[in-house]
A and B are shown apart, each in its own frame.
Chain A
Amino acid sequence: MVIKRASDIASSEITSKAEYLNRREFLRAAGVAGAAAALAAGGLATGEVSLQAQEAPHGRKFDGVKSSPLSTDAKPNSWKDITTYNNYYEFGTNKDDPAANARNFKTVPWTVTVDGECNKKAAWHLEDILKGQTLEDRVYRHRCVEAWSMVIPWVGFPLSDFIKKCEPTSKAKFVEFTTLDDPKQMPGTRSQVLTWPYVEGLRMDEAMHPLTILVVGLYGEVLPNQNGAPLRLAVPWKYGFKHAKSLVKIRFVEKQPMNTWQLQASNEYGFYANVNPSVDHPRWSQATERVIGGGFFRKKTQMFNGYGDQVASLYAGMDLRKNF
């Protein structure tokens, strides 16, 4: 039959509890060790603790995470809001599907393949990507193309730090990001709701921008699976669908990549997807947004999601109505 809930998992595919607990143990050890190693170099200067960090639900906290001047002062959404209201179609199309279906998602070991126009093509272990890397709290405004928004205290580091290690060549004009496509673990990918794997892209200068980060954590802790663990993008002046999750491939390319949502509906979703209150989605207005946990009245959406001072120059002379 055509209509089928995609989230049905054969019981044989569910990880046994023993295995699951094992993995948690391993993960905890790996996480703590990895983080410690990674952060030893970063120094312990935490600065003032800018976050009212909440109780750790699983106790895998990063140590020595630095605060960042690029964070907003706005009050972050609750852990619950951020981890139960997710668009992550690989785990289902309902907002609460990812929290339910990503519970046993395996993030260790994790490899990211770097390919394309660069000198250091390699398969990177996540631990190696994090080695010597200072992590920062980045509290960002997050605006979904569906006209809702949150404030999210990510933990991450500039994507530019990693890109430099890959030594892109002069031909590298764009960066393409690919999300894991694993029908065994990701029930959403068993139906062709979107074209899998999920692909996103940034122009090189966007990717190198200091606001663009690779995210490994939330509220000072290891990133929950439903939020794109173990490694995802955050590009706060763009709509949420640009923030590719669970990255397995980063490719440097000469031509503008075709991103998944543009492939799905090119009249509704573009490549740039900069937050822009004056360019409506064909089916709804982008002028205002529903602030999750933010009371009854809607907020006026700001150009570039309020990051215009930092990023507007990237688009000088461009027609943003055409390049939506």
Chain B
Amino acid sequence: MRVSDRTLRFVLKPLVFLAALGPAAWLVWAGLTGNLSANPLSDITNETGLWTLRFLCLALAVTPLRRLTGWNGAIKFRRMLGLFAFFYGSLHFLTYVIVDRFAGLDFPDGIVAVSTLRNLAASVGADVYKRPFITIGFAALTLMVPLAATSTAGMIRRLGRKWQTLHRLVYASAVLGVIHYWWLVKADVRSPILYAVVVSLLLGFRVWRRKKGTGVFVSRRVPAV
């Protein structure tokens, strides 16, 4: 596929950017117009979490897509997709902190007080420490922080080959994200299984290619004579 840089930069990337904001925009709209369920705050927590996983999968799909289609332009979207995973992950965590933790606090000195901040930190800390599925979700998000921080062109240049190594952390983040999701579900694990399969395929593809060699569809094995 041949897409000019101009089209990519001024048409495709803005379109993908707007589309990626869609879920957040939809949540805001549906929340304000009463189109979420009877428990809208829980919906927002769940949806932002799901979209984090979806964007992680999309970012991880870029390399397999390049290899399988030969369309290297796909690489131009990878950073944006990864940053959107981080964006939704941050929203997810923020929603949890506000809706689940902050909203359940006591306010002995009123809401605007130093004790509120202290109690909130203690409440989040205790939860992250005590509940394995939250520990794991928190770890998945934490691993994304250095990736987001080193996503600029300058950092890529500065880190050189180390950048690639560092950014393999995203694999761990995706795996932890799926475990986090699997663990919070009460009984119906069909949706977590779906994500587990997708992430396995995306990571499995990399393992398979590594075993096979590094070229694009070029077998390194010398044909038997």
Instruction: Check B38 against A293 for contact (C-beta < 8 Å).
Output: yes
Contacts of A148 in B (CB 8 A): 39, 42
A-B contact count (CB 8 A): 61
Is A3 on the interface with B (CB-CB < 8 A)? yes
CB distance from A233 to the nearest CB of B (A): 20
Is A17 on the interface with B (CB-CB < 8 A)? no
Contacts of B184 in A (CB 8 A): 283
Within 8 A of A (CB), among B166-212: 183-184, 186-188, 190-191, 193-194, 197
Instruction: Check A2 against B38 for contact (C-beta < 8 Å).
Output: no
For chain B, the count of residues having a C-beta within 8 Å of the partner chain is: 22
* A191 to B193 Cα, complex, angstroms: 15
Binds B, one of A79-87, A132-140, A221-229, A308-316: A79-87
Instruction: Check A146 against B186 for contact (C-beta < 8 Å).
Output: yes
Is B133 on the interface with A (CB-CB < 8 A)? yes
Contact with B103, one of A5, A85, A285, A297 (Cβ below 8 angstroms): A297
Bin the interface of chain A by size: 20 to 34
Is A129 on the interface with B (CB-CB < 8 A)? no
Contacts of A77 in B (CB 8 A): 38
Is B8 on the interface with A (CB-CB < 8 A)? no
Instruction: Check A84 against B187 for contact (C-beta < 8 Å).
Output: no
Instruction: Check B187 against A290 for contact (C-beta < 8 Å).
Output: no
Contacts of B131 in A (CB 8 A): 283-284
CB distance from A75 to the nearest CB of B (A): 15
Instruction: Check A193 against B39 for contact (C-beta < 8 Å).
Output: no
Check A288/B104 contact, CB under 8 A, given A93-B188, A264-B187. Answer: yes
Is B37 on the interface with A (CB-CB < 8 A)? yes
Is A287 on the interface with B (CB-CB < 8 A)? yes
Within 8 A of A (CB), among B97-120: 99, 103-104
Is B41 on the interface with A (CB-CB < 8 A)? yes
Contacts of B186 in A (CB 8 A): 146
Instruction: Check B127 against A298 for contact (C-beta < 8 Å).
Output: no
Instruction: Check A81 against B103 for contact (C-beta < 8 Å).
Output: no
CB distance from A294 to the nearest CB of B (A): 10
Instruction: Check A298 against B38 for contact (C-beta < 8 Å).
Output: no
Contact with B37, one of A93, A96, A285 (Cβ below 8 angstroms): A96
Instruction: Check B193 against A84 for contact (C-beta < 8 Å).
Output: no
Is A110 on the interface with B (CB-CB < 8 A)? no
Check A290/B41 contact, CB under 8 A, given A193-B187, A298-B103. Answer: yes
- Seed contacts A3-B193, A285-B127; 6 additional CB < 8 Å A-B pairs: A3-B197, A84-B37, A148-B42, A193-B188, A193-B190, A296-B99
Q: Lowest 5 CB-CB distances: which A-B pairs, in order?
A: A85-B38, A93-B188, A81-B38, A288-B104, A298-B104
